[in-house]
Amino acid sequence: MDSTQTVTYIGVDISKETLEVCLPSGKRRFPFTPSGMTSLRKAFPKEGIPHVICEATGGYEKALLEDLWEHGIAVSLVNASRVRHFAKSEGLKAKSDPIDAHILARFGEEKKPRRCDPPTPVRKKMIELLDRRAQLSDMITQEKNRTQKAPASLRKSYLRVLKTLEQELNTTDRELEKCVGSDETLKRNDELFCSVKGIGSVTSWSILAYLGDITQFGRNQLVALVGVAPFDQDSGTHKGRRRIEGGRAKVRRALYMAAQSAAAHNPVIKPYVARLKERQKPHKVALTAAMRKIIIHLHSIAKNQELSLA
């Protein structure tokens, strides 16, 4: 890439059926279809290097990311909360207004976010397996609830379905173990993460798959990416409660489960959570603080490549 070329940031607001795009020539709308994405790429300015800025939209962004990666176009998947705070600080939007393509393009120009590179084949397979695992886990919970209320005449049917789902879950876990074992770096980091009391395989796999190499991020970047960085609710003289926003929901879900376990068994996290509760912090606030402490600790042991002592 010619370093003298200008980067042109292009904001793309993704919905289920359309792509709202902010180009230097103005706003355009494209259908969110293969032909629509082709038309989008053809609309990029010929001068300069295009860099697309978009936010996570519950999975809809996946097709666009893969299309852009396939054609060698830089793309950043940005944290919605960071963009919203940027917009508020610039006076572009009220806090309840939606984030649009223009704001995403402005965010790119001002913040120049890190480009989002495609996952390795192993990580891609892990992501697919973890997504399927989450589906199976939810189905098992639902089927267990139904089994409890099942009439006696149908109980065996419910149990057969439950057994099949549990077998599929076990098979998926074995496939994930194979993925981790096939890559020395993943294998080593999995061992490091699981050395932390409260961190199980699913949490470790989720971090490795959805975040990749966490040492590429600074600590503050990492907690914001995961969605456990507190944002203030202050306005004028009013001091609102701090809260968390955005982030990688799948990682946060796994970390939440880990924090619950660590709050009961980890020699560092357990007293830490207890102290927060003594200060009248709500249970979820204490667990969120524990999640933040855990991900920072994992960042440290991954960076130093040393087993955890806690």
**2 in any annotated domain:** no
**59 in any annotated domain:** yes
- For all residues of the chain together, what is the average pLDDT? 89
Last residue of a domain, one of 182, 213, 232: 182
Q: Which domain holds residue 284?
A: 184-310
Last residue of a domain, one of 78, 94, 111: 111
* Residues 239/223/138/198 CA torsion (nearest 10 deg): -110
Count CB-CB contacts under 10 A for residue 290: 26
Residue 92 confidence class, pLDDT cut points 50, 70, 90: confident
| pTM: predicted TM-score of the whole model, two decimal places | 0.80
More confident residue, 246 or 11: 11
CATH number at residue 31: 3.30.420.40
Residues 189 and 309 in one domain: yes
Concatenating the DSSP letter of every residue in 114-175 gives PP-PPPPHHHHHHHHHHHHHHHHHHHHHHHHHHHHH--GGGHHHHHHHHHHHHHHHHHHHHH
Last residue of a domain, one of 83, 111, 139: 111
Q: Which of 8-17, 211-220, 233-242, 244-253 comes out lowest in average pLDDT?
A: 233-242
Whole-number pLDDT of residue 224 = 83
- Asked whether the beta carbons of 228 and 244 are under 8 A apart, the reply is yes
Residues 151 and 209 in one domain: no
Q: Which of 16-25, 26-35, 83-92, 260-269 comes out lowest in average pLDDT?
A: 83-92
Residues 176 and 248 in one domain: no
Residues 218 and 269 in one domain: yes
Q: Which of 10-19, 181-190, 225-234, 284-293 comes out lowest in average pLDDT?
A: 225-234
Whole-number pLDDT of residue 2 = 53
Whole-number pLDDT of residue 84 = 85
Report the residue count for the chain: 310
Whole-number pLDDT of residue 94 = 53
Residues 100 and 149 in one domain: no
Residue 88 confidence class, pLDDT cut points 50, 70, 90: confident
Residues 193 and 269 in one domain: yes
- In this prediction, residues 29-58 reach a mean pLDDT of 93
Residues 188 and 285 in one domain: yes
Cα(243)–Cα(232) distance, integer angstroms = 7
Which tens digits make up the pLDDT trace of 150-202?
999 999 999 999 999 999 999 999 999 999 999 999 999 999 999 999 999 99
Residues 99 and 177 in one domain: no
Residues 296 and 198 in one domain: yes
**83 in any annotated domain:** yes
Residues 194 and 134 in one domain: no
Residues 191 and 307 in one domain: yes
**280 in any annotated domain:** yes
**1 in any annotated domain:** no
Q: Which of 8-17, 135-144, 239-248 comes out lowest in average pLDDT?
A: 239-248
Domains of the chain: total: 3
Residues 166 and 177 in one domain: yes
